[in-house]
Amino acid sequence: MARGPAKPTAKAAAKTSLHLRIDFGDERSIGPGKIRLLELIIETGSISAAGRALAMSYRQAWLLVDELNRMFREPVVIAQTGGGGGGGTIVTGTGRDIVRLYREMERRAQGASTAEIRALSRRLGPAPAR
């Protein structure tokens, strides 16, 4: 008896996600990595802690922050000096707006693509063995 493709499990369906990368031209872009870095800087107040959480070096995280700061008219991340802990890093209002706008676009794209994502998921083969 011939069987159709296996239906994805609830676990597989729960892991399905859609991510956006927005290319502005001139090699300027934002995507899930830069947005997550900003979110972690908001959470930790530190570029180095955010980089560690993403398994990247401080230098790599700093270069991404610098790229974001050069990309937009207003700073996205600024250093804060002083205090007992020696200061930290703040994601500005502009940076928070960028995160909010990106996540909203991601939610809308996910919602608008639900039927297509389900159709693709139904066509998946078995997950590779680990």
Give domain limits for the chain.
30-113
Q: What is the pLDDT of residue 1?
A: 47
pTM higher than 0.85: no
Q: Rounded to 5 degrees, what angle do the CA atoms 83, 86, 90 make?
A: 85
Q: What is the pLDDT of residues 56-100, one digit of tens each?
A: 999 999 999 999 999 999 999 998 876 666 678 999 999 999 999
Residues β-bridged to residue 23: 29
**pLDDT > 90: percent of the chain:** 62
Fold for domain 30-113? Arc Repressor Mutant, subunit A (1.10.10)
Is the pLDDT assigned to residue 5 strictly greater than 50? no
Helix (H, G, I), strand (E, B) or coil at 26: coil
